[in-house]
Structure 1
Amino acid sequence: MNLSPLRTRLVVGALFVVALLGALDHTVVATSLATIAGDLGALAHMSWIIVAYTLASTVLLPVMGRLGDAIGPRTVFLASITLFLAASLACGFAWNMTSLVVARVVQGIGAAGIQLMSQTLVAYIAEPRRRAQYMSVIGAAFPVAIVAGPLIGGVITDTWGWPWVFWINLPVGGIALVFAASALPRVARAERRPRIDVPGAIAFATGMTALVLGVTWFGEGAGAPAVAAVVLAAVAFTAFVAIERRATHPLVALEIFRDRRMAAATALSAIIGVGLFAIVAYVPTFIQMAYGVTATVSGFVPIATVFGMLVASLGTGWLVGRTGHYRRYAIAGPLISAAGLATMAFLPTGLPLGVPMAAMAVVGIGTGAFMSLVVAVAQSSVPRESTGAATAAVNLVRQIGSTVATAIVGGIIGSGVAALLGADIASLTPSEIRAASDGVQAAVVDAYATVVSPVFGALAAVYVIGFLIALLLPAGRIDDAHPAPTPSHQTTT
């Protein structure tokens, strides 16, 4: 079914608003973690406010993808928004850490559906080359959330109290829900009844839970439990692959990866999770320590990265929408990001802050050039009944790569700096270091440069691998893949 230009814009607008709501929740809450945990008397378990949400949203990604293919993405999308809003209400009323974590798990489940279906629905309303353009608009929700989320979270926490960090979702999400319900077309179901691969879902959930717990415990220094969790994850994922290969209705149809476009797009998504998301959280700390600036000033560096991502994503989406050519951007993007990270690796400290800002902006431009594009490529590479599964796979590998690589990078930086400086100096806050002697400041700068520079270099190498993967993409236009899924003739009014 062909939607009118106005109807299409309304649908894309609705999808962007809801996607922004889900993305903002993660970044807004991050600013309020210490306040929330302190008020609930559980500072030692503060990380679980984030881990519970991330774990639930990751584990449910393939399940949501399968449900979207089975009962229709519109139904799953609207149900996910409703679940997300109900959980947001419960989060604000949490009376202890346990109740908050349970509510965050439910909220993460809703977020998984919002994230996936906002992208899957694009495949039902647009031809392949337009998907890249619309996907870049919806994908802009993530960089906007990175910039705006911490500021919004801080203002709300200081002004209204931390429960409103969650309750603010209700009026905004309520409007978005009505908007989405009225604008989204009804689409045909791939099957009469949803059939979920329960054994596969259990194996995958076990593997992901064990993996997230393992990397979290490694970061907390719990060696033996972390090793046991990682071993369990390996066993569970091995079982998952075996189950999926034999399942009649697999949770993830492994045969979709036989298509070269699909395999390359999924691998490129993992490159983004490892290459960028693993380091962006630590860049402000590095800038504060190595350049001696305040936390506020250091925030300009990730902002420059996000701005580069946003401009490049919208730009390549528009270009692909006009020409259909996509391969050149997937090839150039990783090389551009690799150049930016390599510059950071060899950048001497003490330069004006504009220099690392420019280098990280280049990283953002390179990543943005193919970040949303790979989702459109994956969707265009599979038949209609696998659209949700393909979208889930691309998002899933990015999230897994980010989770694992973030834990590894954090461990390298933390242990490396502590080994070079000693526990006393390594535990100093940025403000305390700025007030310390010149000798202490110089030692801190050298330590961070020594530890972090090789990390930038290693991540540049990851992007070079991404360049090699992109070369596997076939030439031609994005339209040359499978046709778009066909919406039913029933639409909402």
Structure 2
Amino acid sequence: MSAPYRLSLAQKSMFLAVLSAIFLAAMDQTVVATALPTIAVDLHGLAHLPWVITAYLLSSTVSLPIYGKVGDLMGRKLVLSFAVAFFLVGSIFSGLAWSLESLVCFRALQGLGGGGILVTAIASIADFLPLEQRGKYQGLVGAAFGLATLIGPFLGGFVVQHLGWRWIFYINIPFGLFCLIIIHWAFPKTPRKRFPFDIVGAASLFLGLSALVLLTELQNTGPWHWILLVTILASLWGIFYWSPRHPEPILPLGFFRHKTFSASVIVSFFVGTAMLGSISFLPTYYQTVRAFTPTESGLEMLFLLVGMLLTSIFSGRWISKHQKFRWVPILGTLLTAIALWWLSHIAVQTPFWQIDGALILLGVGLGSTMQVMVLSAQWALPHRHLGVATATVSLFRSLGGTLGVAGFGAVFTHFLGSTSAASDGRAAAHIVHALHWDFGIAAALTLAAFVAAWNLEDLPTLMARREGSGSRLPQA
């Protein structure tokens, strides 16, 4: 019987830096959401308040593929340091913002760092951990992400109430400096690869993704609607024309011929769409139909996060022990679909134990899927494309969530109708009816992810293909 694997001091320090960076970026998203009403009053910008979130979402999303490729070429120590520095500078200036317009600009700068932190930190795990141990520690990363999401609203409410909304940005400073110190001390320097950077591909992706996110976030765009559509089509042409002609494209299209990589991307997209698109409107049910306070509504969502936390840790350990992962996302997507179908039968007076049970089951399904898709994409490609694999899965999951929130919001609004003049009882019935459609459609999309998950290949198959093609495995 082999001895259990132990991390060295340097590996422990690097993993601590990764967890700290991910916790920092993940917590910021929910902390800021809690402070939005206070920010609107203080900066007199209620009409454009959603841009505080949209600016961060836009810049973090469009930067993902660029960070992934640059990390592969220049080493993740330098890139992760830059990402944390961008995040810190954006946080400091966001705290100093003098108007809503300035806050939106600084939040975009913060998002450039936040997107880089998430994709580079997750990819860097595979640089210092053996292949067979990644599942265990990737599960801990998923747990850290969930814990940050859980803590964020409570920390945000406390800080806003006792210190003021500007401190939700200032509290990032000690965490960020701690991350920079550990990254500088623990992460080894990596040799930089001498390849021309794909400027055309990066610009095409940046413009196309920006236009797509704006198109889904904005409403009543008028002539801008067509400008954004033309930008998306032109960017697609640039990517498909240019990528095959560059030695190191920002998004190698040939990777999508790999069955496991493509399945990982498809599953991530549909799960992101179904999860964020449907769950985003559940607090409306709690607060409007069941008369919960925002705090009580947030506490109910803890059932989802607990399921995700526990399953992320357990599934990661199971994968590392058995060296197989294929059945984990297959089961996870099935449980997610069942949970969403269960929620599609929600009623005005549904017992809370049923709703909480569905949320726990949903968390179990998501915890068995989301981080595993990152692992499967990484295992499907050669080690030198680790950043691209991580960034592509993260990008499609983020895009799925963005499109899901916009699409499900339109469905919700359509079936909700006009409730302003309706009685409380009729308004509650309209909301429940709208949720039936949202959760029902989300369940159908998750079944598409379930079908795609069957195309995943297990780890022994992927390793045999690598050895057969002569690809170099990452060293322990």
TM-score bucket (shorter structure)? over 0.9
What SS does structure 2 have at the residue aligned with 1:121? helix
Give distance in 2, aligned partners of 1:348 and 1:107: 40
1:485 aligned residue: 474
Give distance in 1, aligned partners of 2:94 and 2:259: 43
- CA change 1:250–1:459 in 2 (3 A) is same
Give yes or no for the alignment of 1:155 onto 2:154: no
Deviations 1:436-471 (A, max 9, x none): xxxx23212211121110211111111111111111
State the shift of 1:232 in Å. Answer: 3.0
2:412 aligned residue: 413
1:281 aligned residue: 280
1:473 aligned residue: 456
Aligned-partner residue type, residue 356 of structure 1: I
8 A Cα contact 1:344 1:453, kept in partner: yes
1:436 aligned residue: none
Give yes or no for the alignment of 1:301 onto 2:303: no
Give distance in 2, aligned partners of 1:284 and 1:27: 14
8 A Cα contact 1:63 1:196, kept in partner: no
- CA change 1:481–1:283 in 2 (3 A) is farther
8 A Cα contact 1:3 1:125, kept in partner: no
Q: Counterparts of 1:354-433 in structure 2 under 5 Å?
A: 354-419=353-418, 421=419, 423-425=420-422
What SS does structure 2 have at the residue aligned with 1:162? coil
State the shift of 1:104 in Å. Answer: 1.4
Give distance in 2, aligned partners of 1:187 and 1:132: 24
Give yes or no for the alignment of 1:121 onto 2:104: no
Q: Counterparts of 1:320-359 in structure 2 under 5 Å?
A: 320-359=319-358
Query: Bigger shift: 222-231 or 466-475?
Result: 222-231
Give distance in 1, aligned partners of 2:106 and 2:19: 24
Deviations 1:462-489 (A, max 9, x none): 11111111111124546556454359xx
1:41 aligned residue: 44
2:469 aligned residue: none
- CA change 1:131–1:479 in 2 (3 A) is farther
Query: Bigger shift: 461-470 or 209-218?
Result: 209-218
Q: Counterparts of 1:250-261 in structure 2 under 5 Å?
A: 250-261=249-260
Give distance in 2, aligned partners of 1:155 and 1:415: 36
Give distance in 2, aligned partners of 1:37 and 1:244: 43
Give distance in 2, aligned partners of 1:32 and 1:230: 33
Give distance in 2, aligned partners of 1:214 and 1:320: 39
8 A Cα contact 1:278 1:406, kept in partner: yes
Give distance in 1, aligned partners of 2:51 and 2:121: 26
1:76 aligned residue: 79
Q: Counterparts of 1:415-454 in structure 2 under 5 Å?
A: 415-419=414-418, 421=419, 423-425=420-422, 440-454=423-437
Deviations 1:199-234 (A, max 9, x none): 11221111111112111223xx44553354244323
Deviations 1:401-444 (A, max 9, x none): 1111111111221232134x3x434xxxxxxxxxxxxxx23212
Q: Counterparts of 1:2-401 in structure 2 under 5 Å?
A: 4-189=7-192, 191-192=193-194, 195-218=196-219, 221-222=220-221, 224-226=223-225, 228-401=227-400
8 A Cα contact 1:188 1:486, kept in partner: no
State the shift of 1:21 in Å. Answer: 0.2
Unaligned runs of 5+ in 1: 426-439, 488-493
1:430 aligned residue: none
Give distance in 1, aligned partners of 2:107 and 2:297: 30
- CA change 1:215–1:153 in 2 (3 A) is same
What is the aligned-residue RMSD (CA, Å)? 2.0
Normalised by the length of structure 2, the TM-score is 0.93
Give distance in 2, aligned partners of 1:267 and 1:122: 23
Give distance in 2, aligned partners of 1:465 and 1:297: 33
Query: Bigger shift: 116-125 or 233-242?
Result: 233-242
Give distance in 1, aligned partners of 2:369 and 2:95: 37
Aligned-partner residue type, residue 133 of structure 2: R
Q: Give every structure 1 segment of 4 or more consecutive aligned residues whose post-TM-superposition deviation is greater than 6 Å.
A: none
Give distance in 1, aligned partners of 2:236 and 2:391: 17
What SS does structure 2 have at the residue aligned with 1:139? helix
What SS does structure 2 have at the residue aligned with 1:64? helix
Give distance in 2, aligned partners of 1:280 and 1:346: 14
8 A Cα contact 1:153 1:165, kept in partner: yes
What SS does structure 1 have at the residue aligned with 2:218? helix
What SS does structure 2 have at the residue aligned with 1:8? helix
8 A Cα contact 1:313 1:372, kept in partner: yes
Give distance in 1, aligned partners of 2:142 and 2:473: 20
Unaligned runs of 5+ in 2: 467-471
Give distance in 1, aligned partners of 2:328 and 2:389: 20
- CA change 1:312–1:203 in 2 (3 A) is same
